Chain A
Amino acid sequence: DVKVTQSSRYLVKRTGEKVFLECVQDMDHENMFWYRQDPGLGLRLIYFSYDVKMKEKGDIPEGYSVSREKKERFSLILESASTNQTSMYLCASSSRSDRGNGYTFGSGTRLTVV
């Protein structure tokens, strides 16, 4: 069963900490994405990557960075966590030659910053 795996389901971090959220996919997908999901706001794109070592800013990149050293792994980094970054974080991947299969999402990481 193909899947996207996010390393943690729940995380609690302190304000100012550096936080790493890890995402691994086993589908050999070229494209990977990080979204955050908040009630009433839907899914908002933070960063995306179309290839190894490539990254592009999404709609809300402030306070975040990413790393993609290997095709299967896409990491989201909160440089200095703040309470307004408390949210559900969703990783997704897709194929460059997509034939309508769309995104495959991970189950999400619920991050609480205290």
Chain B
Amino acid sequence: QQQVKQSPQSLIVQKGGISIINCAYENTAFDYFPWYQQFPGKGPALLIAIRPDVSEKKEGRFTISFNKSAKQFSLHIMDSQPGDSATYFCAASKRPGGNLIFGKGTKLSVKP
């Protein structure tokens, strides 16, 4: 049973465009929703995270939107740049620092 479903599997965006990656979860006990960014040859690194008491969190060009009633959250990358090309994973856990359940990942390519 996949507890965190992520889409799309791959995404191609032109430089300056908006990249949108969506995730849905099933377990209502989840209380922490991070996004990780992974470059080739590297381990994933925390990009941005949200708790369900807020509907949106923005850090620079990266925004998480959270819809608790729909059990969905999404990552928006504004003004996408070639340097944003990476694999992005959404995840969920019952608390920060606890076991993370990851989505299957989205490979983003930003074309110059």
**A residues at B contact (CB < 8 Å):** 4, 31, 33, 35, 40-45, 48, 58, 90, 92, 94-103, 105-108
The yes or no answer to B25 lying at the interface (CB within 8 A) is no
Q: Which size class do B's interface residues fall under?
A: 20 to 34
Cα–Cα, bound, A52→B83 (Å): 39
Q: Are B9 and A103 in contact (CB under 8 A)?
A: no
**CB<8 Å pairs between A and B, sample of 10:** A43-B89, A44-B102, A48-B99, A90-B43, A98-B95, A99-B96, A102-B46, A103-B100, A105-B43, A108-B41
**B residues at A contact (CB < 8 Å):** 6, 9, 34, 36, 41-46, 49, 89, 95-105
Chain B residues near A97 (CB-CB < 8 A): 97
Chain B residues near A44 (CB-CB < 8 A): 102
Beyond A33-B99, A42-B103, A42-B105, whether A100 also contacts B49 by CB under 8 A is yes
